[in-house]
Structure 1
Amino acid sequence: MSEIEKTLPPEFLDAFAAIVGEANMRQGERILELDPGEDRHNLGASVVVSPATTAEVAAVVALCARQGVAIVTHGGRTGLVGGGISSPGQVVVSTRRLNHVERLDADERVAVVEAGCSLQSLQEAALTHHLEPGIDLAARGTATIGGMISTNAGGIMAFRNGVMRHRVLGLEAVLPDGSVYSDLTRVVKNAAGYDLKHLLIGAEGTLGIVTRAALKLEPLPDTHAVALFGFPTVAAALAAISRALAADTGRLRAAEAMWGSYFRYSAGHFGWSAPGFDMSQAIYLIVSLGGSDTEALQGELAAVLDDIQAEFPQTTAVLAGSVVQEQAIWRLREELGVVYRDYPDSPSFDVSVPLSELDSYVERITEGLAGIETGLAPFVFGHLADGNLHIMLNRSAEAVTGPMLAAVEAVLYRNIRTLGGSFSAEHGVGSKRIHALYDTADPVKLRLMQSIKQMLDPAGIMNPGKVVDFSRLSS
């Protein structure tokens, strides 16, 4: 008898096939044909089903609820905190067939999309109307809208347009009992009682499965200009962001930071340099302005440099003069594989810190990590305008386990809540960060989260072992 037959009876699997069709259900070796994505444990489930409609999702969930079978929802499998891992006896519900842009109204500046639609697909659909989703991230080709809603994704434009929570006007979801919550409101103003969609946004599939959403869109600039700045201090970089936000020409679209060690590591790998550009600065910043005239935007970036140099003379910059040069600059920030090449599966962290605390925070963690082990150091980069820092270590995953990992997290998360920040800025909690949530969150918040989970999912079948520690519900 196979492991699947031991954990899920044949009649149960037959019922799945009747709902989604035999071709849209995978078992055994056929599951191994799928790409597990960012975590090799994502596809440990006994069966993967791919419904094509909300009704099919509801039927699958209702079946699992009757049998007490756990469900793990998958979108693009780009999550970094173990939010999609699954085990034998569980069912993975894939949203890959729920991939349509159902409606896009240019006058409303609203799109209604299915959960399995990729961010890039929505971007391309919106582009034909000179619009954009107002959110962007490096995994745009794979990350799905449902997954981004479920993790409350952020990205490079959050400082201006907010995170995913601020982009969602309405949504539809299947709840743990198989009932369908449907509130596809397409308007910003809605004061009609509790705004329950916010329970599902950021819940990482623990309270239900998002199936459709109505999203706000933003006007797309006609053109843009990009520059890479080098600053002697974080204060100089923050001053440049303030100056760019107040630009007379164009709107700030991105302010992506790389602390010196990460920048030099990445630049060395790609062989990047520019005449007269100082490669020894403390921090570097990619600044993108959007507007209607490329030459005017480039002039504005030059004006930003002049103004910042008046206060911080060591500041240097290089202006991208072509698409190729832009791509080379962005590659320095986005191609994280350069770190994984030398430090396989390097532990990574995702914190947010108020801007006034950024400099002291990075100084403190750099010193604290060095105190754990000689030579241990962070690669720091992130979305500087909103205080979101991504931190990777110059060690492989194998070298940072057990007590050492706990010591690293103690350094990174110490007083993070009292600073006004968060241990998880945009990656979520998943299975890997539950302990951090319980170590840092307000106890009243935890009790409320546990109460909501128990009310909506008393059997604990929705993405068990993620976000909420179900074993603590009675404590």
Structure 2
Amino acid sequence: MSEIIRSLQHDLNEFGANLHFIGSDTLRGRHPGEHPDNFGAGVMAQPATPEAAAVIVRWCVDNNVPVVPQGGRTGLVGGGISRPGDLIVSTAKLNRIEAIDPLARTATVGAGVTLQALQEAAAEFGLTPGIDLAARGTATIGGMIATNAGGILAFRNGVMRHQVLGIEAVMPDGSLVSDLTRVLKVSAGPDIKQLLIGSEGAYGLVTRAVVKLESFNPQRATALVGVQDAASALALVGHFRAQPALQLEGAELMWRNFFLDSARERGFDLDWLEEETPAVLLMEVSAASEEDARGALEDGLAALWEEHDLSSGIVAASLDQARRFWALREESEFIYRVQPAAPSFDVSVPPGALDAYVAGLKARLKVVDAVFDAYVYGHIADGNLHISVIGDGVTAASVKEPIEDAVYTGVAEAGGSFSAEHGVGTEKRRAYLTFGNPARRAVAQAIKAALDPKNLFNPGKVPYGA
């Protein structure tokens, strides 16, 4: 048994069932999530109450044991990796949906509640969280708060920063700060929750939250449309967003090689798609009825067809077909079958700059190596692109930094961000130090030093304090 577990059980035995400890033997039989080093510590604590979480953190402070918070372990940038000597504090047992208030349109939940669990619970009231993403089945609300997750609906509702009304968290000194406000309007001094949102576990461990809920309309229509570029796709998005009887529920653009390879991997029929179509837009709208949604989608596309030189399109004839459309965009793991360990990135640039950025990116990659290319796809309406670099030799150490430079060049100058929604973790350390704002880094490090003078909370990760 781990020495850390023995010490914890000896010192904290009065918490009994509210504290569960897992050692290396058990962890070895579990999937570590998106990074193989997530279980590197070999020991995990699973508090079942916020108070138990606070006690664990106080014990860690007293014993100088680093704390690595973990949620669903779906992060793609190594923000949850741990090392021998660390203690993983998992929110898995903080998984209660405590209350859903359909009048206030809020949900009070434990940090370990998955997005899908909250979606299903809210659906009983005709509501849904104002955020959605492909990892909904495993991503936790606490983890989404820690990384300021975005996703499919960010263009309409914003990111997690805009969806959280209240937070409870264990701070690095072991104190439990509870501010579970359930109203939007609060003007009572600095907003501590905003310090924790996007902090990637460096400033505290989120234990509970109050999140906003939105109306959910299942009456939908979905289409795939061949477009010439991002500008054409944005024109379609703008048209449908302006329709008073419609709600745009999703707008995802897939550049040609990503879409074709995703479709081929799934045996998806491509007979409808014209050859050499540069990109494919996945759109979903909702209306008063499924017939209204489908009719408005078809009529709108017909009206815009010639003006925007649309090359081809198909409207889903059933819910099952709509799900297959979405799988083309969301189930992107095929990338790592085509290109194992492909360098992957998520950036954001203002929507109007997308075409210039993508053209520049591909040109810069060719300068690094003539065989390099990129899968590009993402949330077109808010300018968030996901990029995976492909080609023989892309994983060589000698091209790691040149590839990063090719991806990140011009992003900040355009008014964007080198990390749109996945966080910084360990994988983007160089990008954070090279392409991030130095004044912002200095403030983040000063806050870290004030809150966590022993540097015990998620050490070695953003904001890379001493």
TM-score bracket, shorter-length normalisation = over 0.9
C-alpha spacing 1:12/1:395, structure 2 compared with 1 (3 Å): farther
Classify the secondary structure of the residue corresponding to 1:285. strand
Q: Deviations over 1:102-129 (max 9, x none)?
A: 0101111000000000001100110000
Say whether residues 1:319 and 2:315 are aligned partners: yes
For residues 28 and 321 of structure 1, what CA distance do their matches in structure 2 show? 50
The equivalences for 1:8-407 within 5 A come to 8=4, 10-12=6-8, 14-15=10-11, 18-19=14-15, 21=17, 24-395=20-391, 399-407=394-402
For residues 206 and 53 of structure 2, what CA distance do their matches in structure 1 show? 10
Code of the residue aligned with 1:182 in structure 2: it is: S
* Conserved 8 A contact 1:97-1:116: yes
Aligned to 1:468: 463
Deviation at 1:395, TM superposition (A): 4.4
The equivalences for 1:399-438 within 5 A come to 399-438=394-433
Code of the residue aligned with 2:320 in structure 1: it is: V
Among all aligned residue pairs of Structure 1 and Structure 2, give the percentage whose two residues are the same amino acid. 43
Deviation at 1:399, TM superposition (A): 4.4
Aligned residues: 466
Structure 2: which 5+ runs fail to align?
none
Code of the residue aligned with 1:422 in structure 2: it is: S
Aligned to 1:442: 437
Structure 1: which 5+ runs fail to align?
none
For residues 274 and 404 of structure 1, what CA distance do their matches in structure 2 show? 35
Classify the secondary structure of the residue corresponding to 1:300. helix
Classify the secondary structure of the residue corresponding to 1:292. coil
For residues 46 and 451 of structure 1, what CA distance do their matches in structure 2 show? 31
* Conserved 8 A contact 2:343-2:394: no
Aligned to 1:459: 454
Deviation at 1:171, TM superposition (A): 0.5
Q: Deviations over 1:244-299 (max 9, x none)?
A: 11124310010011001111111122222255432421111110001221111111
Superposed CA RMSD in Å reads: 1.7
Q: Deviations over 1:383-427 (max 9, x none)?
A: 00000000012248x841423110000111113211100000000
**TM-score, scaled to structure 1:** 0.95
C-alpha spacing 1:442/1:22, structure 2 compared with 1 (3 Å): closer
Moved more, 134-143 or 399-408: 399-408
Classify the secondary structure of the residue corresponding to 2:236. helix
**TM-score, scaled to structure 2:** 0.97
Code of the residue aligned with 1:128 in structure 2: it is: E
For residues 274 and 375 of structure 1, what CA distance do their matches in structure 2 show? 26
For residues 260 and 198 of structure 2, what CA distance do their matches in structure 1 show? 35
Code of the residue aligned with 2:355 in structure 1: it is: D
Code of the residue aligned with 1:458 in structure 2: it is: P
Code of the residue aligned with 1:460 in structure 2: it is: N
